[in-house]
Every structure is written in structure tokens, then in C-alpha cells.
Structure 1
Amino acid sequence: MSSSSPHILVLPSPFLSDTDTIRLLEPADADSQWLLHKVRSGDYDKPFVIDDGTTRSLHFSLSLIQSTMNLKEPFELALDYTQAMMSFLLFLPRPQHILMLGLGGGSLAKFCHRHVGSARITVVEIDPHVIAFRDAFAVPPDDARLTVVEGDGADWVVRSRGWETRPDVVMMDAFDRHGLSGSVSSTDFYRSVLDALAGRGVMVANLAGDKDSREDHLAMIAEVFDERLLTLSLPDGNDIVLAFRNPAFAPRWREVGNLAKALRTRTGLDFPRFAQRLERSRRLRYL
């Protein structure tokens, strides 16, 4: 660890199992009992990591898991919502540039880095404490294809309009301990995403939290993208929304189905199921 790297304090975790450990961004001589009390009470104000021997999870609180990694398969997508967010590949299989808003445990960044070789990936994360755990989640170091930067995702969307290669995909998974970040919770933000996208670009948004908040965001996206959207509602309460810039967006579902089979072979994800559910959501919107 370099002298500039934050210290990660590893302690036995008393919360879930006797064999769990908890990782905190704290000095080695910190009062561990006081810290564990703060975590237990919900007053601890930094993200933390819990290992259970099988998985490693990034938490904003004991009840709120932000991201999960399978320790034996660190590049797999362990959570259903992250798998569903990759369904943009059904409509844009070879993106040149992906802009991700929110790093979390880096699941999507790692998966795209490994499986979407055509793309340069820029990840914007507002919380430096989240970025500090990137090594714990096996996020590859920055290279010619992957860059992780600290910043406000909404500002970077505006900035991307001046890039030589505009993002083909904007992936929004921008949560803090209170829910969706305030900077991405407005019609103006979604308009800036629409303006930033390349001509056939797609936005993928993970909407979670209470039903009213999800419906408000869905309404804003539908308004800005003129109803050119598809949705996947997941059993865990997340809604995945795909919104398309192209005014002539009209998916050819037979071709999508064929591509889904090829993507399943390449990545192991159940793209045919995503395609079926997205087609159904499209039919329901027409009705």
C-alpha cells in the first residue's frame, strides 16, 4: 500500500455471523468498539465492506447493500439488477464509449472491461471513500480502456458533450446512503443525458427505492426521451430503464432474439430472458 492510500481497518464483524469480517476506512489505532457501535446504530457516515467468506459486499448501512462480489468469481455480476443493466448490448452490441455514473463495488465496470472489448469506459464516482475500496473489489487499475475519476456524474454528463467521442451508453447507478443522488434527480439532468449521447446512444438507469421515487424518475425519462424506453421490473424492487436517443428507434425483435443467444454464449448472462421481458414491456407501452 502506498503512503497516499487510505488505511483499511479489518475487524471481526459481530453483525451477521461469527466468521464475518468488516472493513472500515479508519486508522489502525481507531477505537474498534466505538466504530462498530456507530455502524450498528446507523450513524457511521462512510461506506464499509462486509465479507461472509463467500461474498464481499459494499454497504452504506447494515440494511443497504450497494454492491456484492462473489469471492471465487470476482468478475461475475452477482446481483440481478447489474445483470439486467447489461441488456443494452441487445441494441448496441459494440459501443465505443461507455460513461458510468457511480462505481459502487465496480461490478459493471469490471464486467464491461472484460466482456465489451470495443468500449472505452469512464466511471465517475462522487464519493472518494467508495473509490478507496476499488482494490478490495478487484477493479482493474486505470489503463487505456478504463478510467475511474472522482466527480459529480451530472457535471461529467454535461462535459461529455464536448468529447471527441460522445458516449454511446450512459449507465446510471448513482446512489448514496439516502438513495438516488440529488444531482441526477431532475428533468434537466435527463435532458443533458439525451444531449450527450451519440446518435444511436442508450441510457441505462437503475431505479431503486420507494415506489413514488421510481415512478417520478420513470415519468421524467419518458418525457425527455419521448417514450422511447423499455423497462425491466425486478423482484428485488429495482426497475431497469433503457432509454434511446434515436428518434427512429424501432427494435427488430427477431434480430434481438438472435443476438441474445449469441450474447448468452459469450457472457453467460440470460440475454434471451431479458429480450423477452423487454419486448413485453414494449407491447404493454403500446397498449
Structure 2
Amino acid sequence: MHPFRRRVRPAVEAMPEVEISEEGNIRSLHLGSETIQSSMDLDDPPDLVLSYSRAMMGFLLWNDDPKHILQIGLGGGSFARFIDEYLPDAVSVAVDINPQVIAVARAFFQLPEEGDFFEIVEADGADYVKIFRGSTDAILVDGFDGLQIVDALTTEDFFEDCKRALSPKGVFVTNWWSGDKRYQSFIERLLNVFEGRVIELPAATHGNVAVMAFRQSPSLTQWEALRKRADELEGRFGLEFGEFVNRLKQTNQQTAGHLLI
């Protein structure tokens, strides 16, 4: 049990109850289980505490100036705070189906001010993404129910809708757990929809993987160029992009000089 853990919102019918815990300067959100869904450093709220959330921002290697970002799954607002701090010109929309998650995030997780650049939408992300057509530069999917990723966020139909929503240089990024027995079937569906333009970036801990799929083949695939880009981005965003490139090389298909996407 995490210190200072408390239930802050009762479960909505068919949805897990929302709890928060605090340990030292880290505040975390839980959905009906011990599993941490999202964490915030009270001394540095924009920092991405969990390794999977850091890995998901690896898409910035290919587009470090996105104009529109769609988040499916608000959680404790980790991406919202990071985007507000480091990508202030980006319009960010966070969609969550659970009204209690939204209420807790607003009350306890120092979300950015809602307005022209940040919006929260209470909706089913699998439905909401359908309103976009070639207009969002990144889709970040982190939709767990407390135990596993929501089924509706792993179907070929959902992936097709996300592909249609992306701009020409857009990237779809999802957080999956490599220990899920369905993991390989998820990958195969994504490969089919995105015509093979899929890479896996393992997080540093807990078996999470940031899986990325590209609307079009990116031009930046040379390892030397990727390492140069990583060096440029590390100081700007405070993330370990060099290590991301190392993990990409360990995990994905490649030639001597190129990442194959």
C-alpha cells in the first residue's frame, strides 16, 4: 500500500474507482488497483516521472514542433503539463471517458489552464478521434482500466480512425505492456493498418513499450542523424533521447546505417 493513499472519488458505474497516493514528493493516480497510472513530482510538475511517459515523447525525434496533439486518456495529466511547459505553441486536447478521472486531475494534479491551447473533453476516445481528418500531428494513447489497456483502443478500426486523423507527418503513439499475452496481436494489427511503419521503444522499467506508427515513412532514419537529433533535443526537453535511440536500435529492424520504418 502506498503511503497516504486515499480514495477520492467513488467509481462510476462500470468504471474503476479513482484513488491518489503520495510518497515523498510524488503524487500518483490509481484506478481501482495498486498499479500507478500516472505520477506527478510536486516540486517539478511538468517532469515526466514514469519511464513509459518519457518514452512516449520519443516521437519528438521526428517532429519536435507539433501544432496539434490529441491525448486519449487524461490520467493525472502528465502529458498535458509537459506539453504546456515545453511545447507552449501546440494545441493539446485530452479526452477521457471517466468523469471522475477528469475531476481528480483538475483538483489534485495541477493541470494547465483550459483555453485556446488546452482542452479536456469527456468522451470515448475511440469515438472522438473520428472527428479528425488529417489534422493532428500526434495521437498519444494511454487508456488503461486499472488492469489492462481498454479493448476499444486496440482494434484495427480504431487504428484506421487514428491513421485518418493524423497529418501527413503525424505519429500515433500508444503505451502497451510487453507482458500482455495479446501484445503481438496488437502489433500485427498496427503493422497491417500502417503498412509496416511501426517501431517499438521500450520504457526503462516495468515492461512498458511506447509503440509508434507513422502516417508516412519519416525521412529521418539514419542512426547518425538520429543521434545528432537526440543530442539537440535532450537539453531542450530534459529527456534522455540518446538512450531512446539506443533502445530503438536494440529493438527494431535495421540496416547498418538506418532504422527501418
In the other structure, the counterpart of 1:90 is: 61
* Higher relative contact order, structure no. (Cα contacts within 8 Å, ≥ 6 residues apart): 2
Within 5 Å, which residues of 2 pair with 1:122-161? 122-134=93-105, 135-161=107-133
Q: Would the aligned equivalents of 1:229 and 1:241 in 2 still touch at CA under 8 Å? A: yes
In the other structure, the counterpart of 1:25 is: 9
Deviation at 1:59, TM superposition (A): 0.6
Gaps of 5+ in 2: none
In the other structure, the counterpart of 2:51 is: 80
1:187 is the counterpart of 2:171: no
Deviation at 1:21, TM superposition (A): 4.4
1:167-194, Cα deviation, whole Å (9 max, x unpaired) = 0111111111242112212111111111
Deviation at 1:252, TM superposition (A): 3.2
Identity of aligned residues (%): 33
Match among 171, 184, 206 for residue 236 of structure 1: 206
Gaps of 5+ in 1: 1-14, 27-37
Mapped to 1, the partners of 2:75 and 2:182 lie a distance apart of 21
* TM-score, reference length from structure 2: 0.89
**Aligned-pair RMSD on alpha carbons?**
2.3
Indicate the structure (1 or 2) with the bigger Cα radius of gyration. 1
In the other structure, the counterpart of 2:194 is: 225
Mapped to 2, the partners of 1:44 and 1:151 lie a distance apart of 14
Q: Would the aligned equivalents of 1:22 and 1:51 in 2 still touch at CA under 8 Å? A: no
Deviation at 1:248, TM superposition (A): 6.3
Which amino acid letter does the alignment assign opposite residue 226 of structure 1?
E
Deviation at 1:121, TM superposition (A): 0.5
Match among 109, 116, 138 for residue 87 of structure 2: 116
Which amino acid letter does the alignment assign opposite residue 236 of structure 2?
R
Which amino acid letter does the alignment assign opposite residue 238 of structure 1?
N
| Aligned partner of residue 139 in structure 1, secondary structure | coil
Mapped to 1, the partners of 2:161 and 2:17 lie a distance apart of 30
In the other structure, the counterpart of 2:246 is: 276
Deviation at 1:63, TM superposition (A): 2.1
Deviation at 1:207, TM superposition (A): 0.6
> After TM superposition, which residue ranges in structure 1, 4 or more long, deviate above 2 angstroms?
208-211, 247-250, 252-256
Q: Would the aligned equivalents of 1:179 and 1:209 in 2 still touch at CA under 8 Å? A: no
